[in-house]
Amino acid sequence: MNDSNRKILFIIREWINLRIYSSKPIVIKLFRYLSVPLSITAVASLIYSHGFSLSKDESIVINLLLKSTIGFYIFKFIVELFYSFSPLKYIKNSKWESGLIVYMTINILCINLFNIEIVSSLGTQLGLKQLDQFMMLLIQGYFLVFVALETGKASRLLPYLKLSPPALLVSSFLIITSLGTLFLLMPEMTKSGVGMSIYEASFTSVSAVSVTGLNIINVADFLSFKGKIMVMILIQLGGLNFIAFASIFALLANSRIGTRYKSLIQVEYSSDSLESSALLIRQIFRFSFIFEIGATILLFFSWGDYEFEQIGDRIFFSIFHAISAFNNAGFTLFSEGMAHPLISQNLSFISIMAATIVLGGLGFGTIHDLFSYRAVLIRRKNPWKHLKVNSKISLYSTIVLILFGSLIYGLLENKELLDGLKIGSQAFVSFIQVTIGRTAGFNIIEIGELALPTLLILLFLMFIGGASGSTAGGIKTSTFTLVLVNAISTIRGRKRVELFKHTIPVEMLNLALSVFLFTLGGVLLGIFLLTITDGHLGLTRIIFEQVSAFCTVGLSMGITSELSSAGKIILMISMLIGRIGTVTLAFALTRRKKESHDYTYPKAQVQVG
């Protein structure tokens, strides 16, 4: 197209825009108002279709509604594009939405003109019979993305909610847990089609959102494919937390993240500044999905002698375990857990799982510092710049704890028990069990068969947990490190606490000590209450179960399903508090007023020790 033709098109476009400009606000507002009830109705229909068995007429109505809604979004996008003064810029700014629209439009044209469905035809060519089912989930997922993008445009209102960042975080976990419970109560979530009890649905939802892995049902045998999909979604939401998802949809919809949002991200993921928080939230999703996709691919080729009925099952198992491992969730699709003979003896499989668990437990701030292109480039150009102190603590403490735990585990544990696994040397068995059990709750041997000293080592490792801003639980490695370094400095008579040639602020030391004491208090309170409700199960097993729940690990000595109703409620509360964080919960439940510190009281001499 030459310049004269472009000039003519520009003049025509300008003339049209001037003529229709007055109607633009009314039309755009009308579409926005129409999208809300239509989206709510379509999402409700989608949930109903997956949760209940549908008649033929109901299926036709719901499919028609979903197709009409997708058609509405396509038409809405075209109208907004038409009203835009710069269509190319509009497409560039809405690249995600544009890509979805282009795909859906091409797919609809192929179906109506040539009676060819793109993904279904591709599945036939590749011999993937389940690709039709995946395509239906994909279309419905696309629809939910449309709704999420529209929600993201409205997310600019969230900072105006009169909630503190901790209160907003607590609310998000409670909301997603409640929704997960309602979804899991639907009949189609179980293989029997009867549905779960309220206790089973609540416990499973809390365990998944808190990425713990404790269960009172057998996920592999009890849940249907839809139920397992729901658990997987809850794990992903809980691992990255709902705030991160809301933030990314705000970014995709080109909405600005408010200061309140940024401060929450800064606190949750140990970001250095408010401005770096928006960059970090992108990196969180980028690295999460890169690692999860990479783990999925590696797991797909590492199943060894374990046989699947269809290749679709192999794909789903790989995806589920990759997400569960990276989010340190401890959920598995095997009735025996990872103690299944074909799994526990599969070196490649458990090694991939262990590596994925460690990556998820390092913390997103550390992952960003280690793997982001910008951070690597800065260190390469400026050799004097090193990893951040938080990243060093995360890395070194993780390495030391795994090596320490593996050594003690190997020395203490019964030699015959380890030899029975037949997967190599005892050192490797110890290393793998400590790595996958320390924060994620997977087990390649029966925990109930371990000796008491080994259980104490596992309790110690579970209590510490993973790094700050990670998917792991516990008091966090940074908290343990600061408490330990502070104690050593006090014994040595030093006035300042120094680490990696940096001075640790007193405020951080006080916060670390608070986290340590609050978590210890929460664990002890839970143990006390469980001895009242379920004391007959034995103190050792109760202690192990409570520490595993509060520190969101998921290892169990096999008493979870035997707990009373009150005991299960105690564990659910423990899992939620453990995932949210004791200090965060305290901040959310209290109103902190600004106080003047322009005065000081006389120093008191108090005897200690």
| DSSP letter for each residue of 498-509 | EETTEEPPHHHH
Question: Which of 94-108, 310-324, 380-394, 584-598 is the most confident on average?
Answer: 310-324
Q: Is residue 131 part of a domain?
A: yes
Cα distance from N-terminal residue to C-terminal residue, the chain: 86
Domain around 58? 1-160
How many other C-beta atoms lie within 10 A of the C-beta of residue 414?
A: 12
Quick: pLDDT tens for 536-545.
Answer: 998 999 999 9
Q: Is residue 7 part of a domain?
A: yes
Question: Does residue 604 carry a pLDDT above 50?
Answer: yes
Q: Do the beta carbons of residue 74 and residue 104 sit within 8 Å?
A: yes
d(CA 211, CA 306): 26
Q: Closest by alpha carbon to 291, among 249, 322, 248, 269?
A: 322
What is the pLDDT of the chain when averaged over all its residues? 77
Question: Does residue 334 carry a pLDDT above 70?
Answer: yes
Residue type, 42: A
How many other C-beta atoms lie within 10 A of the C-beta of residue 140?
A: 17
Q: Is residue 187 part of a domain?
A: no
Q: Is residue 217 part of a domain?
A: no
Tokens of 6: 């472009």
Q: Name the DSSP class of 223.
A: B
* CA dist 128 → 101, 121, 580 (Å): 26, 10, 41
- Provide the domain count of the chain: 1
d(CA 101, CA 109): 12
Q: Are strands 502-503 and 498-499 parallel, antiparallel or unpaired?
A: antiparallel
586: confidence class by pLDDT, cuts 50, 70, 90: low
Q: Closest by alpha carbon to 23, among 82, 64, 66, 88?
A: 82
pLDDT score at 3:
64
Q: Is residue 376 part of a domain?
A: no
d(CA 403, CA 394): 14
pLDDT score at 64:
81
| Cα dihedral value 455, 461, 466, 467, nearest 10 | 170
423: confidence class by pLDDT, cuts 50, 70, 90: very low
Tokens of 313: 């099952």
Question: Which of 49-53, 339-343, 576-580 is the most confident on average?
Answer: 576-580
How many other C-beta atoms lie within 10 A of the C-beta of residue 144?
A: 15
Q: Is residue 147 part of a domain?
A: yes
* Chain center to CA of 253: 21
Per DSSP, the chain holds a count of helices (H) and strands (E) of 28, 2
d(CA 430, CA 461): 13
Alpha helices in 52-164 (DSSP H): 56-83, 87-93, 95-114, 118-126, 131-154
d(CA 437, CA 413): 15
Q: Is residue 101 part of a domain?
A: yes
Question: Does residue 241 carry a pLDDT above 60?
Answer: yes
d(CA 228, CA 219): 7
Tokens of 375: 């951070």
pLDDT score at 547:
93
Q: Is residue 91 part of a domain?
A: yes
252: confidence class by pLDDT, cuts 50, 70, 90: very low
